Amino acid sequence: MRRKIAVVTTSRADYGHLYWPIRDLASHADVALTVIALGPHLSPEFGHTAGEIERDALPIDERIECLLSSDTDIGMAKTIGVATLGLADTLGRLRPDLLLVIADRFEMLAPASTALALRIPLVHIEGGEISEGAIDDAVRNALTKLSHVHLTTTERARRRVLAMGEEAWRVHRVGAPSLDHLKRSRLLAQADLEALLSLDLSTPPVLVGFHPLTIARDSLREAPALFGALAQLDVPLVFCYPNADAGSRELIRQTQAFCADHPRARVIVNLGHVAYWSLLRCASAVVGNSSSGIMETPSLGVPAVNVGLRQKGRERAANIVDVVPETGEILAALTRVLSPGFRDSLGKVINPYGDGHASERIVRILTTVALGEELRVKRPVPLDDGRCYAEASS
């Protein structure tokens, strides 16, 4: 009997990370894989990135429409509800042995809570990390407590999951699967990338990845400082689209207005994971508040300026420069990292997020972990006095 494994992907934010695990699971003789796409993947507004999955010759077995065309936190909350309704029918029919989710996007609460109600064991990638300036931090921790198998990117993240009371046999450090692209994906040569994106890359651009600050009432409060700094920077700029969060539509509008006033600036709705990694390799620096700027740039030795609160607390390598969201500070940091001396100093940077072999570890764990009640029943970890929490509080 092949074990039935379902994978949920909601957007380009997670698909680039899940690409190699999906491909390896799909080709595994002992796995019957189901890929479920929902949310921004099915939205033309965010590039209809389900098409990227299809172009990669990977199956989309189930599609769940759930993303509200909204720019508010109420829209985010309703999206979770709509996704839950669709997933209840889909997962109730499929009944997989394992459901795989990744990271910390708010819409991932829908498959996790649905799986809980249907007694489907949940596997979570990238638990135990920290990003204090986004609701993602709480989402990530909630997913950890709802999950039965934990696949962390770093050793410190593994220890945090253990500190949350998870049994040690359930927690595995595998590394960040996005880094597998450097080992296994064929990145584009500069000329091919220029033709694909209609960009002149003879002068390496600064790549801008900036998202709303979802923990704050004013989710765009840090954006003016970033745009103010970029307006004073005389280099090519390439903006990536933000995630589908409250404030993202207004951020897109501001980005488009900036690009209209600055001929050397360009915004791209969806790069795709190979083009993104290829462009990242060509970039002179990355600036913004995206997790990619912290997790992936060290493997390429690309400098990154991390702005503001969103990624506060996340582990980082020596190529990362943290700045407060003030125009002068951001501009000074960009000037520093764009200097030849700074780039030259990054030759031996070690990426704490892994070595590019995460997918093979993930597949090995998913195809060998014991199924059934042993997996579903999570037991409390003993306190220092040897008793479990339930006994101590009775």
Give me the residue label for tokens 């997989």.
96
pLDDT the model gives residue 381? 84
Give me the residue label for tokens 């936190």.
73
Q: Whole-structure pTM over 0.85, yes or no?
A: yes
74-103 mean pLDDT: 98
> For 99-115, what is each residue's pLDDT tens digit?
999 999 999 999 999 99
Interstrand relation of 265-268 and 285-288 (parallel, antiparallel or unpaired)? unpaired
Domains of the chain: 3-175+357-393 (3.40.50.2000), 188-344 (3.40.50.2000)
pLDDT the model gives residue 390? 55
Say if residue 19's pLDDT is above 80.
Answer: yes
CA distance 6 to 71: 30
Residues in the chain: 394
Phi first, then psi, for residue 110 (nearest 5°) are -65, -55
Confidence category of residue 18, pLDDT binned at 50, 70, 90: very high
pLDDT the model gives residue 393? 54
pLDDT the model gives residue 388? 64
313-329 mean pLDDT: 97
142-170 mean pLDDT: 97
Say if residue 33's pLDDT is above 60.
Answer: yes
Confidence category of residue 394, pLDDT binned at 50, 70, 90: low
Task: Look up residue 54 and give its two tokens.
Answer: 């299809």
Task: Look up residue 162 and give its two tokens.
Answer: 């253990």
CA distance 322 to 207: 16
112-121 mean pLDDT: 98
pLDDT the model gives residue 1? 87
Whole-number mean pLDDT of the chain? 95
